[in-house]
Chains A and B, each alone.
Chain A
Amino acid sequence: MSDPVVETQPMLGFQALGSALDDALGRDPSVFLLGEDIADPSGGVFKVSAGLSTKYGTHRVRATPISEQAIMGAAVGAAVAGMRPVAEIMLMDFLAVCLDQLSNHAAKLRYMSGGQTGVPLTVRCAAGAGMQFGAQHSEMLEAWLTHIPGLKVVVPSNPADAKGLLTACIFDPDPCVVVEQSLLYFAPPQPVPVGHHVVDLGVAATPRPGRDLTLISYGRQVHDAIAAAEALAADGIEAEVIDLRSLVPLDERTVLESVARTRHAVVVHEAVRRNGFGAELAALISEALFDELGAPVARVTGANTPIAYAKPLEDAFLPNPDRIISAVRTTLARSRSRVVR
């Protein structure tokens, strides 16, 4: 559990992440960072680690060559030796370059060794569309990762959670990937606990309660879901919004309890629809609650395409509040529970 919060400071997303790294480096000598450009003066391309190499030295905040396989592999080896490395892979798309180390080694070494060696590794990566980076710098690939037994995956939606989840991952005994949507780095400042702040893995938040339908989301799309719920409330439709925060481990109980109550669910995520994490959630809900459901679980997701550069095309790829509102209305219109408003 998190320490009692006594003090907060307004922070942008990237500052909140940096403060988690600062706390972890100060707290535990086995924590160290490695990644491209992370040392000062640049402090990382998104400035997350600004000031940290000056404070802790370049031996603990190590700028690496552009070598994703070496970064991930060295982090795996150091973790096997009992260190707590935090590896930054600049963009999630680049995980493809070093997926062998993440999937075949980080995720499997505990199992293959019969529990003799763990891999307390944290991987941070920027992700997501919205900044016109084009197809190779914008993807959300969490579904790849959640399909690999042995990995944990978190996707924070706000600065305070970003700090708390990153801290939980660093001190977790297993390999964790923190998916940091790049637009969240520059989200409006929000009060963030100063010092050590942990958000336990596998505990979802419910930022908006409601009785008629459950909107299940994570990361940046939580804000779209809340915006949609607020608009729907004007028509008397009360949608509950769940922010999963971590996908593995998954807070199934919060999801299922909510949907059992509302009998309707719409899943919202940025990643492409086909085999996205929403498919897993829809299956989970359908298997557990088939008899209670008023309508099939609907999904509002990214399109089944790469992500275009041109702004209108990039926007068209993404889910948005209008598409969520439309999915909610369709779901309720199909409802055999005859929710009429």
Chain B
Amino acid sequence: MRTAVDDATAPADIGPETFIDIYTLATRIKVCDEKFRSLVLAGQVSAQYYSPRGQEIVSASVASVLRRADYVVTTYRGLHDQIAKGVPLRELWAEFFGKATGVCKGKGGPMHITHPASGLMVTTGIVGSGLPIGAGLALAAQLRGTDQVTVVNFGDGASNIGAFHEACNLAGLWKLPIVFCCHNNLYAEHTSYADGTSVERIADRAASYNFPGVRVDGNDPAQMYRAAKAAVERARAGDGPTLIEAMTFRFYGHQMSDQNEYMVPGELDAARAADPVPRLRAWLLVTGIGTEAQLTGIEAEIAAEVEQAYRFASESPVADLAEAPTDVYEEALA
């Protein structure tokens, strides 16, 4: 597939600042992931962590067309979506560390991030279960007559659970303002796409529910941005859902201990060689959208930000034991 970043000229329909925004977000995600992953591997922090490395462009591009009031739902592999939606970095890091200062006071952890102030409403650890919840968030917006859009992120494996189909049917039936964003990274845990999915393209499944489905190169910011923009505009205008199948790849397997023995040989190396974040950087320079000094400046700022977030998290107190029984109900039951 030929992508925008193969061309040496910038596309006319997307402003240069959009590409800079996407690169900035993608870099923030990448740097956070690399730092956090190294801490887990070094045993400096104990966490169940699912790396989104390799999938940064998908979330960064979607975020560039969303408003703060829009809703996002994501999954246990959700750091990219959380950062892209604007969950504050220090509190996000603190939550990953299980600290009292975390966005969820240490009760959620990496698989259960919620930060309504950013619009990041639910992170679920259960494959596919976020889609019906996203439909409900979209329904709330529709009932209230706001123009908020909901984006539900999920993997290719999620499109095989019943909840996917029920949510798509409901959203199509009621023309809900929702974007179903499938990050197709070709593996559902340890099962390859072909071994688990009956159709060649998940995008085709949208036809069953009477709304558009598009497959794009999720690692290409131009394609991803255009698809997200069209889908979000469609939802905001009241024309109903869109399913985006963003083709991408995860660089570190399903979980941290993964040996990738189930993967097609060479596939992972090829994907890493085509790492979308440095690729975007090189393209920004070739097209003249960004200068070396500008990008280096952005990267330095992000490095400092992430370092600060890490320090904040590591120096914060652990979750208070007095908090253990709170938040089960609004008021503690007698």
Contacts and interface: CB of A to CB of B under 8 A. Distances in A.
Whether chain B is bound by chain A comes out as yes
A81 interface: yes
Nearest to A115: B327
B104 A77 contact: no
Nearest to A150: B328
Given A67-B169, A105-B133, A249-B334, A78 B140 contact: yes
Contact of A114 (B73, B103, B139, B167): B103
A83 B166 contact: no
Given A32-B143, A73-B163, A149-B328, A116 B135 contact: no
A174 B137 contact: no
Contacts of A112: 104, 107-108, 112, 114
A114 B173 contact: no
B134 to A, nearest CB: 6
Contacts of A77: 73, 121-122, 132-140, 150
B326 interface: yes
Interface residues on B, range: 35 or more
B132 to A, nearest CB: 2
A32 B140 CA distance: 10
Interface in A66-95: 67-70, 72-83, 85
Interface in A107-124: 108-118
Most buried by B among A67, A82, A173: A67
Nearest to A106: B133
A80 B122 contact: yes
A231 to B, nearest CB: 35
A116 B150 CA distance: 19
A100 interface: yes
Given A70-B170, A100-B126, A249-B333, A81 B141 contact: yes
A223 interface: no
Nearest to A72: B132
Given A77-B137, A81-B71, A150-B328, A114 B132 contact: no
A73 B108 contact: no
A114 B107 contact: yes
A287 to B, nearest CB: 16
Nearest to B327: A115
A68 B163 CA distance: 9
B159 interface: no
A94 to B, nearest CB: 13
Given A65-B173, A114-B114, A115-B326, 9 more contacts: A59-B143, A69-B166, A74-B133, A77-B150, A80-B136, A104-B126, A105-B133, A113-B327, A114-B327
Q: List 10 A-B pairs, minimum CB-CB distance, nearest first.
A: A73-B132, A77-B136, A114-B105, A81-B140, A113-B114, A70-B166, A74-B136, A114-B104, A77-B133, A112-B112
24 contacts: A65-B170, A69-B132, A69-B166, A69-B167, A73-B163, A74-B136, A77-B122, A77-B150, A78-B136, A79-B136, A80-B137, A81-B71, A81-B140, A81-B141, A100-B126, A100-B163, A109-B114, A110-B327, A110-B330, A113-B108, A113-B114, A114-B106, A117-B114, A173-B329
Interface of B: 71, 73, 102-108, 112, 114-116, 121-122, 124, 126, 129, 131-141, 143-144, 150, 162-163, 166-167, 169-170, 173-174, 323, 326-330, 333-334
